[in-house]
Amino acid sequence: MTDDRTFHPDPNTPPARLDPESMSRPELIRAAADGEAPMNRIENVDRARVEFERSLRAAVDRVSPDAKAPAHLRASIERMFREHSGAGVVTPASGAGTRSRSFWNRSVGLLGVAAVLALCAAVVVMSLRSGPAPFGGHQGAIRTASFIQSESDDCSELNDHFNAKFRARSREEAQRLAQSIFEKVPDALLRTDDALISMGYEFAGFGRCAVPGPGRSGHLIYHPDSNPAEALSLFIQEDVVPIGIDQSCCYRMPLVDTTDNRVLVWREGGFVYYLYSHNPQAIETARSIFHAPKHEAVIR
């Protein structure tokens, strides 16, 4: 009858500090049920109570779902540990960019050309320099991109997983849910999606998600009216720790099984956005809708 999944004393818990001598009778009964007082201190008449406590405890444990942490959550937390361990910590690539902008602002006439040149140079410099890599390195980037890909693919059809995850089924509901998750509505959820709708895509839902890395996250998904495999996903995550990507650039992320970089990531307004679809045309349309930076780089 006894389910001992959780009843062994926690090996990391310090020894009991309770003194049976100073306990009242009810305290002694509970301490005995907790294993902190010996049963020989319990009067015969109270032993049934101790047994009741233990049986109830076992029953409470048994009737509560024995859920395990989902794989994506585990991966996310393990990544958090890596990012905070020092070796995997990445710092923002920002300093030089600030100085460049103030310089170029002096010459309004050259602004357009200069901006393009500066951004191109920044991309080249970022790709060549030996500083901290985005997502803590190639493997970190692959793990995150793979999560984005598989989670989007898993949600491309209206199955049980979809129904459990996407509790908001309209844009209004999505904004309300985003407000409750993030305490503000990300700009991406406020933009008009007419261009996607005219391509045959339909707003399918928005729900909480567990994108690897710290920061709460949500998943917005559009389903095409033809091929379900071409669903389009936008994952939104709070931008709470540096992930080593520059705010002025949109990055293509690496995937394990393909050289076709279909996962895009950028930062804007306190959020990190991950965009994914098998349909390149949908990606380009969505990039424009969600205001992803035009300049892009590839994370190697």
Partner 1 sequence: MERAEFEQLAIEQMDAVYRMALQLARHPDEASDLVQETYLRAIRASSRFEERGGGIRSWLFTILHNVFYSRVDKKKRAPALVDEFFEADQTERPPDEAPPAWDLATLDWDHVDGRLKKAIDALPEDQREPLLLWGVGGMKYREIAEIMNVPIGTVMSRLHRARATLAKELEEFTREIGWHGATHAAGTQDDG
Chain residues in the site for partner 1 (CB under 8 A): 1, 6-8, 10-14, 16-18, 24-27, 30-31, 34, 36, 45-46, 48-49, 51-52, 55-70, 72-74, 76-78, 80-81, 84-85, 164-165, 181, 207-210, 214, 216, 240
Are 270 and 238 in contact by the 8 Å Cβ rule? The answer is yes
CB 203 within 8 A of CB 170: yes
User: 214 vs 293, which CB is nearer to partner 1?
Assistant: 214
Which CB sits closer to partner 1, 2 or 288? 2
Question: What's the closest the beta carbon of residue 98 comes to partner 1, in angstroms?
Answer: 27
Residues in the chain: 300
Minimum separation from the CB atom of position 157 to partner 1 (A) = 18
Closer residue to partner 1 in complex, CB, 125/240: 240
8 Å CB contact between 128 and 171: no
**Nearest distance, CB of residue 69 and partner 1, angstroms:** 4
Nearer to partner 1 among residue 72 and residue 291 (C-beta): 72
The residues that bridge with 276 in the sheet, in sequence order, are 233, 263
Q: How far apart are CA 94 and CA 244, in angstroms?
A: 10
Question: How many CA atoms within 13 Å lie on the side-chain side of 137?
Answer: 8
Q: How far is CA 126 from CA 92, 94, 131, 240, 266, in A?
A: 11, 11, 8, 22, 15
Please, what is the minimum distance in Å from the beta carbon of residue 217 to partner 1? 8
Q: For residue 70, give the 3-state DSSP assignment.
A: coil
- The distance of closest approach from Cβ of residue 45 to partner 1 in the complex, given in angstroms and rounded to an integer, is 5
Smaller CB distance to partner 1: residue 32 or 250? Answer: 32
